[in-house]
């Protein structure tokens, strides 16, 4: 393949991640859909317009649970990650995200104070 494979997300709807793959040429590309190290079934690749390929990855309902679930779509070499997405669910994640946002706010306030002090000291 002369071109580099590029997979661009178009939508995530009704539990199916969809994207457009370019750079594969005329031959149908071989891709894998994974959650962590496990290969998931159901990945569909179909011909699109102008030499592109439409990729559909249905997210199995049994893979959605509390915490963060990360999914990847990889090239045939099982090394090149073409796309990835995460699904956040459950109370534990909600609390973690709130704590992270609070930490970021505190750091931003610290930076603002330091910047204001720097500006007042240099004038």
On the question of pLDDT at 90 being above 60, the answer is yes
Q: 20, 6 in Cβ contact below 8 A?
A: no
Report residue 115: phi and psi, to 5°. Answer: -65, -45
Helix residue ranges, H only, 1-123:
91-122
Quote the pLDDT of residue 100. 81
The CATH code belonging to domain 1-88 is 2.60.40
For the cut 80, the answer to whether the pLDDT of residue 99 exceeds it is no
Helix runs in 14-122, H state only: 91-122
Q: What is the pTM of this model?
A: 0.72
Condensed to tens digits (0 to 9), the pLDDT of residues 16-63 reads 999 999 999 899 999 999 998 899 999 999 999 999 999 999 999 999
Query: For residue 85, which of 65, 69, 63 has the smallest C-alpha distance?
Result: 69
* CA dist., res. 10 & res. 17, Å (int): 8
């Amino acid at each position: 393949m002369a071109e580099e494979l590029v997979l661009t997300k178009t939508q995530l709807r009704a539990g199916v991640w969809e994207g457009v793959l370019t750079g594969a040429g005329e031959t149908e590309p071989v891709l894998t859909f994974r959650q962590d190290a496990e290969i998931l079934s159901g990945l569909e690749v179909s011909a699109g317009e102008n030499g592109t390929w439409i990729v559909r990855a249905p997210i199995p309902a049994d893979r959605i649970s509390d915490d963060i679930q990360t999914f990847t779509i990889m090239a045939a070499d099982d090394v090149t990650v073409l796309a990835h997405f995460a699904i956040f669910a459950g109370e534990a994640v909600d609390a973690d995200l709130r704590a992270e946002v609070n930490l970021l706010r505190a750091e931003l306030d610290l930076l603002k104070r330091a910047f204001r002090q720097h500006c007042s000291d240099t004038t």
